[in-house]
Amino acid sequence: YGLYADENESPRGRIALAEALLRGQLPADPTLGDHLYRCLLCRRCETVCPSGVNYSRLMDAARARLPRSHWSSRLVTRPRLGELLANAARRVPLPGSTLSAIARALPAQAAAPGPGVYPPAGTARGRVGLFLGCVTRSHQGNALQAALLLLNRLGHEVVIPADQACCGALAQHQGEPATARELAQRNAAAFADLDVLVSVASGCSAHLREHLSGIPSRDILGFLHDDAAWPELAFTPLHATAALHRPCTAVNALRDQDSAQILLGSIPGLQLCPLGTAGGCCGAAGEHLLSEREQALALRQPLLQQLAGLDAEFLFSSNIGCALHLAEGAKAQGLPLETLHPVELLARQLAPSGEAQA
């Protein structure tokens, strides 16, 4: 609503439109679809609604009457193909190509850890399944490797099933609930008999927590924060300034505003500056950064303006879409900072076992 000053682009307006569609009072036409699909599904309205309206579920139901998949949602259900295209876009930059700029936004990445069982150094305290995701697997292998290192150091045996699938969030929000259910069933089977499923991307974490049955699902930051052994870890100092982005999926869906800041506070000398408003959407919003490009850029611009004034060396975000969107904008403006998932710096600064903080 802040961008358009149009009641149809507000939560209240979209609720009225969705209800009218579902009751057969409005036709499923493109104009109605535009209003429903411009919603970012950041769920910030749910955090302040006094009536507890489940807005996101209502939007998903309405969109199921108006399915509108972007080509990118087809790629994420084929992670190997997505990896090949991402690697090609990184190696062969195409001037003026948004996709190429996004693919090259993050620093060079290691390969994601492969399927298998990764034992801890000592006696295992539990068996944790690591969810690789789709875009995370192809664009943030460093974060997945860092999560694996931290989980092993904390005493968890980490299992990465070979037959895991996309979390299903994009399909769910693009009006394809049957596809989302099929993906959830595949993941439930792949991660059966484990203590917990841990995801690195907060967007995947939020969807898995609400739609995956049979196994508890956690976001990596919340899981590490709650781990009783975390205080036993030591980290080497790093005197640097960092901008901390708190994704809407973490704050509004997972209701976790503090884990990233608390965990990064374990690194002596690191100064954190909150970026934007906690729970406010940066504009990435799944595939919006491609399908609703103008809107995505408008929502990102205030964050880039703040970044330009921080003189930060690092930018942290715990959701892959947000990280790509913000890093692409920062790179285009020539801001000399490194965009990381919080676990990447935590793994980088992790002191050898038994070494105390300096």
What pLDDT shows up at residue 96?
63
Asked if 175 and 67 touch (Cβ cutoff 8 Å), the reply is: yes
What pLDDT shows up at residue 78?
63
Reported as a pLDDT band with limits 50, 70 and 90, residue 357 is very low
Query: At CA 206, angle to CA 162 and CA 171, rounded to 5?
Result: 70
What pLDDT shows up at residue 123?
85
What pLDDT shows up at residue 98?
82
What pLDDT shows up at residue 127?
95
pLDDT in tens, 1-44: 888 989 999 999 999 999 999 999 999 999 999 999 999 999 99
Q: Is the dihedral of CA 58, 60, 61, 63 positive or negative?
A: positive
Percent of the chain scored above 90 by pLDDT? 78
Average pLDDT, the chain: 91
pLDDT in tens, 178-233: 999 999 999 999 999 999 999 999 999 999 999 998 899 999 999 999 999 999 99
Asked if 117 and 63 touch (Cβ cutoff 8 Å), the reply is: no
Q: Say which residue, 84 or 160, is predicted with more confidence.
A: 160
- Listed in sequence order, the DSSP H helices in the chain are 11-22, 30-37, 44-48, 55-63, 71-76, 79-91, 98-103, 135-139, 141-153, 169-173, 177-190, 202-211, 220-226, 248, 259-264, 288-291, 293-308, 320-332, 342-349
Amino acid, res. 127: R
| CA end-to-end span of the chain | 49
Q: Name the pTM for this structure.
A: 0.92
Reported as a pLDDT band with limits 50, 70 and 90, residue 353 is confident
What pLDDT shows up at residue 104?
85
- Judged by phi (left if over 0) then psi (alpha if -120 to 50, else beta), residue 255 lies in left
pLDDT in tens, 145-184: 999 999 999 999 999 999 999 999 999 999 999 999 999 9
Asked if 316 and 205 touch (Cβ cutoff 8 Å), the reply is: no
Phi, psi at 245, each rounded to 5°: -90, 130
Place of tokens 């708190």: 246
Give the tokens for residue 149.
């290192």
